[in-house]
Amino acid sequence: MGKIIAFCNQKGGVGKTTSAINVSAYVADASKKVLLIDADPQANATSGVGLDKKAERPGTYDVLMGLCSASEAVVAGPMDDLFVIPSHVALTGAEIELVDLPSREYRLTKALGAIRGQYDFIFIDCPPSLGLLTLNALVAADSVIIPLQCEYYALEGLSQLVSTINLVNNSLNPKLSIEGVILTMADFRTRLTGEVIKEVREYFKERVFQTIVPRSIRLSEAPGFGKPIMMYDKFSIGAIKYEKIAGEFLNNQKSLEPDVIRLDMADEEGPSVDIQNDINDGVTDKR
C-alpha cells in the first residue's frame, strides 16, 4: 500500500511546489514508483515537470468531481517511475463546487483508494490555502511535509497550520502525522536565518530535515524549462540538497514512528521574542 504525503503550507512562496517536484523526482530516481498529484489550481507542479497546464485532459479537477477515475487522469512524468495527475485552471472552481457534494472532505481519499497500491509513494502538492482542496489532501494523506522559508514572516501562521493538521487528525483522519519540515530559501549571510532555523528546530525537534535548501538561481530557473532540478542541473547546490532530502525521507521511512506534533495554541502564537526583537531592531546585517 503506497504512502500518501501532502506538501502543505498555507503561505505562498515558501518553496512548496519546488519541494514537491524535486523530492518526487529524487525518490523516483531511487527506483520507487511515485505519483505526483497537483492539487493547486495554479498548476505549477504540472508545468514544472514539463506538462502543458492548459491542455484539455483529465486531471485533479475531474477526479474530485467524479468525472473520471484517478487511473484515467494519470500521465507519464519526465522520467521513469514518476507519474503525474495534472492540474488545470478549472480546479479553481472546485472549492465552490465541492461545498454541496456529499462527503466533500473524502473525495480524494475515495478516488486514490483504487490506485494507491500501484505506487510506493503518492505526493500531493497542495494550494497555498486551507480550503477544501487542502482539506481533501490532508484527509487522504498519511503524513504532511511542511516546506518553510527561512524568514520571519514564514513563521507567522505556522501554528494555525499545525492546529489544522491536529484538527483533521482528531476528527477526519486519525492516521495523519507530520512527516517533517523542509527549511527552504536559506540565506546564511543573515543572522535572522540562523535564528529562524534554531526556532523551527526547537519547535519541531527531530521532525526537521537536517538538510537545508539555500536560495538558488538554478532552482528558480528549472520550472521555466519544465524540469526537476536533477534534469536541469544535477550538479547545482539545489540539486545536491534535494537529493539529500530525498535520501533522508527514504531513510526515515525505516525508522521514524508516526506522531502528530501538537501545539498549545495559547502559548504558540508566533516566533520567539528574540526574533521579534531582531525584526524590531531592523536586523539585516550579513555575515
- Which residue ranges make up each domain of the chain? 3-280
CA separation, residue 252 to residues 38, 41, 62, 255 (Å): 24, 31, 33, 5
Supply 17's cell numbers.
511546489
- The answer to whether 51 and 88 are in contact (CB under 8 A) is no
Over residues 57-84, the pLDDT tens digits come to 999 999 999 999 999 999 999 999 999 9
pLDDT over 70 percentage in the chain: 89
| pLDDT beyond 90 at 218 | yes
Is 3.40.980.10 the CATH classification of the domain at 3-280?
no
- The answer to whether 5 and 145 are in contact (CB under 8 A) is yes
CA separation, residue 124 to residues 46, 144, 186 (Å): 12, 9, 24
d(CA 158, CA 145): 13
**Residue 281 binned pLDDT confidence (cut-offs 50, 70, 90):** very low
d(CA 127, CA 39): 6
Over residues 77-133, the pLDDT tens digits come to 999 999 999 999 999 999 889 988 888 999 999 999 999 999 999 999 999 988 999
Residue with cell 495523519: 176
Q: What's the pLDDT score for residue 102?
A: 85
Q: How many CA atoms, within 13 angstroms, populate the side-chain half-sphere of residue 211?
A: 16
The answer for 69, left when phi > 0, alpha when psi is -120 to 50, beta otherwise, is: beta
Residue 274 neighbours by CB distance under 10 Å: 10
Could you tell me the sign of the dihedral formed by the alpha carbons of 134, 136, 138, 140, in that order? negative
- The answer to whether 155 and 195 are in contact (CB under 8 A) is no
Q: Which of 279, 242, 260 is nearest to 123 (CA)?
A: 242
The model's pTM: 0.88
- The answer to whether 8 and 126 are in contact (CB under 8 A) is yes
Residue 164 neighbours by CB distance under 10 Å: 17
d(CA 7, CA 215): 19
Residue 269 neighbours by CB distance under 10 Å: 11
**Residue 256 binned pLDDT confidence (cut-offs 50, 70, 90):** low
